[in-house]
Structure formats: structure tokens, C-alpha cells
Amino acid sequence: NAGVMQNPRHLVRRRGQEARLRCSPMKGHSHVYWYRQLPEEGLKFMVYLQKENIIDESGMPKERFSAEFPKEGPSILRIQQVVRGDSAAYFCASSPPTDRADTQYFGPGTRLTVL
Amino acid sequence: GESVGLHLPTLSVQEGDNSIINCAYSNSASDYFIWYKQESGKGPQFIIDIRSNMDKRQGQRVTVLLNKTVKHLSLQIAATQPGDSAVYFCAEKNTDKLIFGTGTRLQVFP
């Protein structure tokens, strides 16, 4: 039973380019969460999605960042016009569609480096 | 504001000893807590969880204790092994999202 999959594992972009990060949840999971982690810090919540719906984007920067979780395919975190401050590890987590889907299982992350 | 923090940023223990990692939380309304282990270059790995209607929960070599009176959470690892070396995070469930502390690095020496 495969866990949460993320790709690419490492991504290098120059300032002004776009970054697209992909996340495939665990089989049977329909809730996806994105978190960002700076070196030597804890994870910070960005956005929570269910299929075709954004449920909570309170941690998402208002500009340049967007997320989607289409009916088919992986969840995508998109960062437009990247800046050096976007360099971080981005983790996706998923949980099952139960009434109290508390436990979140994490993928290996995408490490974004902005030159 | 709401926050989850840790008392010790680094903990060094000898192999075979027991480890205790502590965490303080500030939201008394939180009802679910998780401990994660994160090895270098990897994502957080679920270790153990506890709900607020419990004060203790045991897993394999790990025990989580919850003291709601002082809003304190701890992770106990019995007979610590080299493979336990990692950064440990406590996380607090707030509506749909997890709020993480800054982490404690556990170093195990022979």
C-alpha cells in the first residue's frame, strides 16, 4: 500500500519562474494538506483541500500561491514568480474521508531551491 | 495566539537509556495531539497520537502523556536506539490543520 507520493523531490528554479509541486494522497484518502518547512523549523500549514474544493487556505500567501485537487489526478501546489524566500521544503499530507479524519500521513516532501 | 512549543531543542542520550521529549501547548480547546519523527531529508513519520479524553497512551517502546491542567505533552522512548536519532515534533489539531512545534533533536550516542 503506497504512501503519500510527492514529485519532484528536488526542484530548482530561478527567480521569476514558476514552481509546480505534485502530491498523490494515499489510496482511499480524499483529504490533502500542504505544509511548508524552513530549515530547523516546524511545519507551517498552508492549505487543506478535498476533491475539487479548497476547504481552508488560511495559511496560504495571498499572492503567487495557489493549490488545486482535481477530480482526477494529483493535488498541485503552484508558486508563480518565485522569490528566494520561497526556498523551503513543501510537504503534503493526506487523511481518509472519515468524520474525524484526524491523523495526517506525510509524503517525503519537495525541496524547492530558488536561485 | 495559539502555539505549540518545546522546552529542549536538543536532547542527547546514551543508547539503552530512556528519552523524554516535552512539549507545551497553548490552546486549551485542542482535543487531539500527535507526535511525529522526522529524519534528515524525509517527511514527518507518525509515531503516536492521543485524544484529550485520555492522559496516557502506549505504543511499541513509546508512551505519550498528556497533562491538560498545565497543557503539557511528553513523549517517552524506552531503551533508546541509534535509529531513534531524529527531530521529534509534537502537533496540535486545530480545526482541520496541525500546528507544529519547532522540534527537538534527539541524539543517541553509544
Using one digit for the tens of pLDDT, what is the confidence trace for B42-73? 999 999 999 999 999 999 999 999 999 999 99
Q: Say what the pLDDT of residue B102 is.
A: 76
* pLDDT value for A100: 57
Structure confidence at residue B8 as a pLDDT band (50, 70, 90): very low
Residue A67 pLDDT > 90: yes
CA atoms within a 13 Å half-sphere pointing along the CA-CB vector of B24: 7
Mean pLDDT of B13-30: 92
What is the CA angle B61-B63-B65, rounded to 5?
A: 170
Cα gap B103→B88, rounded to integer Å: 5
**In this complex, which of B42, B95, B102 lies closest to A108 when CB atoms are compared?**
B42
* Bond from prior residue into A8 cis (ω within 30 degrees of 0): yes
Q: Which of A56, A103, A109 sits opposite B97 (nearest CB)?
A: A56
Which residue in chain B is spatially nearest to A5 when comparing CA positions?
B43
Q: Which residue has the higher pLDDT, A93 or B97?
A: A93
pLDDT of residue A99: 56
Residues of chain A numbered 43-72 and touching chain B (CB < 8 Å): 43-45, 48, 55-56, 58-59
What are all long-range contacts of A45-53, with beta carbons under 8 Å and residues at least 24 apart? A45/B97, A45/B98, A45/B99, A46/A77, A47/A77, A48/B96, A48/B97, A49/A75, A50/A97
* CB-based contact B34 A48, cutoff 8 Å: no
Average pLDDT on B26-42 reads 90
Closest Cα in chain B, distance from residue A18 (Å):
23
Contact B44 A91 (CB under 8 A): yes
Average pLDDT over residues A68-76: 94
What Rg do the C-alpha atoms of chain B give, in angstroms?
Answer: 13
Q: Please list the helix, strand and coil fractions of chain A in percent, rounded to the nearest 5, in that order.
A: 5, 50, 50
A47-69: average pLDDT: 95
Looking at the predicted structure, is the pLDDT value of residue A85 above 60?
yes
**pLDDT class of A28 with cuts at 50, 70, 90:** confident
